[in-house]
């Protein structure tokens, strides 16, 4: 399936296709000419509140499970964007979802949760 995940600072590969940055915040200090992504969609990132809660900026950090549940709930409002990404993948276009350079654990990252949402859309789409 032409749907991948990486960090924005991971080396770009020829087969990455469209590299979509899905961070709430634009990476600091990266000049426009040095961007490694083709597009940026902050709407597919966790909200500022969820981001802060996960990193303990509003008290004790929330658990991964709490983060996961809240992120998936937030993404219900982004159903049209997720549908569009699923449609592009279904058409055979390759998309690489890019997250923060600080996010080293792919298993505990919203890019993996978003990939799962897109894959679920693809699995439930009627066969053509």
pLDDT tens digits along 40-61: 999 999 999 999 999 999 899 9
Q: Are 4 and 85 in contact (CB under 8 A)?
A: no
Nearest to 41 by CA among 94, 80, 72: 80
pLDDT at 59: 93
**Percent of the chain, pLDDT > 90?**
74
Name the β-bridge partners of 39: 20
Torsion of CA 101, 104, 109, 114, to 10 degrees: 60
Residue 21 has pLDDT above 70, yes or no: yes
- Categorize the per-residue pLDDT at 1 as very low, low, confident or very high, splitting at 50, 70 and 90: low
Average pLDDT, the chain: 92
Mean pLDDT for 14-31 is 92
pLDDT of residue 106: 79
pLDDT at residue 104 tops 80: no
Q: What pLDDT score was predicted for residue 128?
A: 57
- Higher pLDDT residue, 1 or 24? 24
Q: How far apart are CA 125 and CA 59, in angstroms?
A: 41
Predicted structure pTM score: 0.90
86, 89, 91, 94: CA torsion to nearest 10: 160
Domain boundaries defined on the chain? 3-124
């Amino acid at each position: 399936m032409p749907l991948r995940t990486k960090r924005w600072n991971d080396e770009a590969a020829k087969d990455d296709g469209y590299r979509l940055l899905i961070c709430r915040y634009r990476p600091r200090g990266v000049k426009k000419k040095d961007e490694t992504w083709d597009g940026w969609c902050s709407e597919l990132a966790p909200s500022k509140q969820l981001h802060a809660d996960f990193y303990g900026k509003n008290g004790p950090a929330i658990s991964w499970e709490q983060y996961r549940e809240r992120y998936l709930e937030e993404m219900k409002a982004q159903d049209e964007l997720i549908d569009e990404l699923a449609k592009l993948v279904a058409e055979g276009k390759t998309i690489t979802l890019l997250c923060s350079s600080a996010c080293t654990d792919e298993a505990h990252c919203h890019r993996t949760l978003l990939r799962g949402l897109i894959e679920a859309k693809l699995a439930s789409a009627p066969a053509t």
